[in-house]
Structure 1
Amino acid sequence: MQKSPWFKLTLWMSLLVFPLLMHSSLNAGTTGKIAGVVTDKSTGEPIPGANIIVVGTTLGASSDAEGRYFILNVPPGTYALKVTFIGYKAVTKQNVQVSVDLTTEVNFALEQTVVEGEEVVVLAERPLVEKTLTATASKYSTAELNNTLPVATFNDLLESTPSVYRGYVRGGQKYETKYLIDGVDVSDSYFSYGQGAFGGEVGHTYEGHRPSDEKDNAGVTISQGALEEVTVFAGTFNAEYPAATAGIINVVTKEGGKKFTANFFNRTLATDGRKHEGSNVYSDAAQYFAEKAQLEAAGDPTSLRRAALYTWTPEEARKFYNYDPSDSSSNSRSTELSFNFSGPFTKNGGFFFEGRYNNDIGPFPFERSKHLGASLKAHYNFASNKKLSGMFQFNDGGELFNFVNWKFNPKWKYNMNGAPRYKDLSTMGYLKWTNAISANTFYEVQVSRIS
């Protein structure tokens, strides 16, 4: 009996949830920190007891006796910070950029006032040098991804990153690079080294989830619209990250906010056949039509009669001499499509849903690489210091929705129909509990599974 795709999806989700209760691991950082000093603008003296809040969130702090403050566990993104104190004008700093594993320094100088309710708005500037950065890293925020960088997909972003070529960091192999999504290791485990029976290193394949192809960089994928921040470490990195000899790519995904938002992206590409720039200027066809054009340009009766003897049309010559990709490739177009929808589902919770479809058409009629997937991320704040979040995503290469991918392999060049077909399916999910015990301490417990 043929099982429906939704039955298969339900089964995979069931297999995911039960192991979550038994599996946990340390994960890499997914939040940042804000710190600074609050002082009197005229005297430079510190102001103790000032209230600093992250506008639009439940995060905040108070300055100590030396005017210093810090706010932990801040998700990456762009925020506005507001500081208030009795007898001083309230000050709001906008465009404060918070990055993963970095301390963003935001200092305030307050002016005394006799009129209650006065407020000063300041635009924050990002420092040219990150003093707390201890490794070579390239960071991309959601604003840069959407408005600055000329990229349309996550793979395009990696291609434009220094020290990265086709997903390979600093010339290392894929198994030497760690890929993290919200702290979950989703590295491509198709090939990695292990200890052999006689003490030597041997290769092992298929360690848990599907192998990625040349265009993929990890066992699971995600659309660009769901990215909050991407950090690419191409050198040394902090001890909190898992071992990697080439580099680390750390991805933090978006969460649902207090407003409903939606985005849609679609791109279709011409047939992925060879690009044809026109006929060879030294070919017989080029000489043939040059002679015909010269006779027609002369215009006299004799020349026109001779030109009439050139009966071949340019269209016929093109079919004979020129390579046409449509003759040996599918007439379909490669398609990339993604969308996302997010917002609140309660006063204290939100969701972010994204879907994607990719259909790459190769230069041969049978060649196709088709994948579709989706992810759902949700969170709920039980209190200002207690938060539960989770995510589930799948990427189907035919196993779930019953289609077949077929890629060219040079070993089968004399028997194209014998080229191997394949189906695959990858899933990833996690649950994370965050609890801020005090202003100085918080802990996270995360369980995850990838298959």
Structure 2
Amino acid sequence: MLKKLVLSFLFLQFLLINTLFPATTGKIVGRVVDKETGEPLVAANIVIKDAAMGAATDADGYYVILNVPPGEYALQAIYIGYTTQEVKGIKVKVGLTTRVDFELKTASFEGETVVVIAKRPMIQKDATATAAIVSAEEIEVAPVETFQDIAQTKAGVNVGPDGSLHFRGGRSEEVAYIVDGVTVTDAISGGLSIDVSTNAIEELSLITGAFNAEYGQAMSGVVNIVTKEGSADFSGNLLVQTGDILTNPENSQYFLSEINKFNPLNTYKIEAGLSGPITKENITFNISSRYMNDDGYLYGQRIHSPTDIDDSVRTGDGAFISLNPEQRLNLQGKLKMGLTNSINLYLTGIHENSKYQIYNHTRSKVPDGIPWRYNK
């Protein structure tokens, strides 16, 4: 059994040094000018509200804020003698540039602030690849259980009989999977080596064509996942889902009667998350967990035991047994340590443990003969 525990230092993020890892952050750029004259404002301070990130404008009024984690932010432009301007609703996406320009006017009195709501651009000018980007907010309201469910709703992505993803008609082993800049593609089969809970995802990028060279060993497509970071304040969530699978009366002849016995706890899922600071200054954490139990809906009857040597030998007890049960546990944790205002250190850990049986009709009368499969 393989121990699928991913522990990785996800590299130091330098504001002025490009890394060789797949992108896990975006950037904000723009220009600050005088609203009346159009002249650039030199050394104006541009800060991300409630975050220790920002920049100052150069001699031409331009600024750049690098290594901004994906999410929605409020940006402030501050300059002595001018009204402070705040732009809300700025969305930063992995590997892309968000442009925010400011036109400041002379302050009529000290402390005046103008608030502006950002608008999404019609065209993302620096997007060089065909990609679909899904945010945590979109995942939260979508009726999905896994990120594979999200992927199959996008153009160019299909799901095979075994649940694997296929991009643009390619093989499943031609897809590269990346979590927080670290490749998690199975080195043997080429598929996904470890799953990520949807409540741990901050942004999901599905790149189906013309991807950059930073995504090595990808032929058909790329799945790039950035997990959530810890927040400055404590927060948590808990989700419980339960239900059962029944069949229509006209289809009952194809199933054993056991399928129509309703059990509200036949299939249930529990998701929980906790985020917050470890220290007030620079260390935060985010923990996400998911447990899923499915007792199955395809049944067999224990007529025989695996040791029966002939059909005439029937040592089974006649009980109805599910032939496709499944149990999955997924744990994810992320620790962020701000070494300086421009350098962050991340530690991410993901653990998956699953136990399941694959339905086999030839074993419908010998259900104990179906082997359990484990993924640890």
The answer (yes or no) to whether the contact 1:48–1:67 under 8 Å persists in 2 is yes
Among residues 278, 286, 290, which one is paired with 1:356 in the alignment?
A: 290
**Of 183, 186, 201, which aligns to 1:185?**
183
Maintained 8 Å contact 2:244/2:262: no
Residue of structure 2 in register with 1:340 after alignment = 273
Contact 1:220–1:395 under 8 Å retained in 2: yes
- Are 1:161 and 2:154 matched, yes or no? yes
Shift of 1:128: 1.7
Unaligned runs of 5+ in 2: 12-18, 160-164, 300-321
Q: Give the whole-Å Cα distance in 2 for the aligned partners of 1:252 and 1:322.
A: 44
Deviation track 1:275-330 (CA, whole Å, cap 9, x = no partner) reads 31x349xxxxxxxxxxxxxxxxxxxxxxxxxxxxxxxxxxxxx8xx6855525999
Amino acid at match of 1:128: M
1:29 correspondence with 2:27: no
Q: CA RMSD in A?
A: 2.9
Q: How far apart in 2 are the matches of 1:360 and 1:351? A: 30
Query: How many pairs align?
Result: 338
TM (normalized to structure 2)? 0.82
- For residues 357 and 334 of structure 1, the distance between their equivalents in structure 2, rounded to whole angstroms, comes to 11
2:326 partner SS: strand
Measured in 1, the distance between the counterparts of 2:156 and 2:241 equals 27
Q: CA deviation at 1:144?
A: 2.1
Corresponding position of 1:304 = none
Quote the residue 2:318 is aligned against. none
Aligned counterpart, 1:78: 72
Go from structure 1 to structure 2 and tell me whether the alpha carbon gap of 1:162 and 1:269 turns closer, same or farther (over 3 Å shift).
Answer: farther
Determine helix, strand or coil for the equivalent of 1:27: coil
Q: 1:17 to 1:92 in 2, by over 3 A?
A: closer
The CA deviation at 1:45 is 1.5
Residue identity (%): 35
Correspondence for 1:38: 32
For residue 330 of structure 2, what is the amino acid of its counterpart? Answer: G
Cα distance in 2, alignment partners of residues 17 and 59 from structure 1: 24
The answer to whether 1:396 aligns with 2:328 is: no
Alpha-carbon distance change, 322 to 415 in structure 1, aligned in 2, over 3 angstroms:
closer
1:318-359 deviation line (CA, Å, top 9, x unaligned): 8xx685552599956122221101100102110001111112
Whose Rg is larger?
A: 1
Which residue of 135, 155, 164 corresponds with 2:129?
Answer: 135
Greater helix proportion: 1
Q: TM-score, normalised by structure 1?
A: 0.69
Matched, 1:218 2:169: no
1:374 paired residue among 331, 341, 358:
331
Match 1:255 to one of 208, 229, 232: 229
1:418 CA drift (Å): 2.5
Gaps of 5+ in 1: 1-7, 193-216, 281-317, 399-404, 426-451
- Which residues in structure 2 correspond to 1:50-61 (within 5 Å)? 50-61=44-55
Task: Classify 1:47/1:164 alpha carbon distance in 2 versus 1 (closer, same or farther; 3 Å).
Answer: same
